[in-house]
Amino acid sequence: MQKQQQQQQQQQAVPVLSTAMNPVASAAAAPPPPASRLENTVACLPIVCGSVAFYLGKKADENNTHQWTLYLRGPNNEDLSGCIEKVVFQLHASFAQPLREITAPPYEVTERGWGEFEAQIRITWKDPNEKSTYVSSTPQKFQYVLQLYFVCVCVCVCV
């Protein structure tokens, strides 16, 4: 008798998967309701932004002593394109085309140069309800300092 009661309680406690989440569900089932936002919930997406630079040697042009890459990616190179619409890199004004808009992975810019500068990175999310994120060391916007001798900065962006 107790065993039957325990089984009934367990069956009642187990949540039933909706047809949208249940791979065994009938194909004729009603379509899932449109996705809605959960109240009082924060989703956290770990993102790494940083740079890497390589010295091109003594024979390099004095204005192009290093090749560098400024990037934004998942910590283990995960594909972020499911969440990110585009990433905009604002480089120093001395570069031809200083505003670089990247709409597909890899979200990175590679150039040659001779010095360090501040670059702004803006993430535009696929969710139209989310505001663009400025990867930031200040509350308003991110000024990433591209340095030729240091590697990366790690950022966790909550959306």
State the pLDDT confidence band at 20, using cuts at 50, 70 and 90. very low
Average pLDDT over the chain reads: 73
pLDDT of res. 25: 39
Which CATH superfamily, name and number, covers 44-158? YEATS domain (2.60.40.1970)
State the pLDDT confidence band at 148, using cuts at 50, 70 and 90. low
State the pLDDT confidence band at 33, using cuts at 50, 70 and 90. low
Per-residue DSSP letters for the chain?
Answer: -HHHHHHHHHHHHSPPPPTTT-TTS-TTSPPPPPP-PPTT---EEEEEEEEEEEE--TTS-TT--EEEEEEEE-TT----TTTEEEEEEE--TTSSS-EEEE-SSSEEEEEEESS-EEEEEEEEESSTTSPPEE--SSSS---EEE-SS--EEEEEEE-
pLDDT of res. 119: 87
pLDDT score of 88 more than 80: yes
Mean pLDDT (whole number) for 104-125? 92
